Amino acid sequence: MRHLGLTLAAAALAAALAGCNKTATPPPAEQAAPSPPPSAMSDVDKQKALATLPAPYNAADLANGESKFALCSTCHTLAQGGPNMTGPNLHGVFGRKAGVTPGYTYSDVLKATGWTWDAARIDTWITDPKVAVPGTKMTFVGLKDPKDRTDVIAYLMIGTGYKP
Ligand code: HEC
């Protein structure tokens, strides 16, 4: 009985996490281990994580990225299993198709892009979402400074479990 309960719990968890990261799906035991948000990491761990990112993100200013992410965090969570809010949870967003986070209702226009999110797409998107995808429900004014976008994308990579 106890074993069955655990199996069912694991299956439910796997189902809840399905679609989280299509390119490399680790076994359920690993998926269950939450990665700490960059804000909870030590400076040494942050620098280590930063060094694994592709250029130019490996040279980003993570402190600035974190402060710029405050503009996003009113609508988005990054951690694995984090809730959808006004915007969808963003864990595993790099390499994933636009508009597929389970349990979140996207605009038709975003789903219709057929995009797969990579750093360049996200850069364009957060410059001015309503220009990138007219009719989107992401009512965010945009980050006009390219350095701010690079920094926040590096923060997103670390916070969403980006795998090079
Ligand atoms: C006012 C709320 C709000 C803010 C602020 C906001 N977003 Fe969003 N975001 C949304 C909504 C709503 C959507 C869904 C858009 C749609 O369906 O058209 C979205 C979608 C996204 C997506 C696509 C996710 C997917 O699964 O396809 C990404 C990536 C994203 N936002 C990143 C960001 C980043 C990075 C910031 C900060 C620089 C930010 N957002 C700020 C509300 C917000």
Q: Which of 12-26, 60-74, 140-154 comes out lowest in average pLDDT?
A: 12-26
Indicate which residue's Cα is closest to atom 6 of ligand 1: 72
- Residues near ligand 1 (Cβ within 6 A): 71-72, 74-76, 86-88, 90, 93, 98-99, 101, 106-107, 110, 117, 122, 126, 136-140, 143, 152, 156
pLDDT in tens, 82-105: 999 999 999 999 999 999 999 999
CB 153 within 8 Å of CB 119: yes
Per-residue tokens: 122: 């996200």
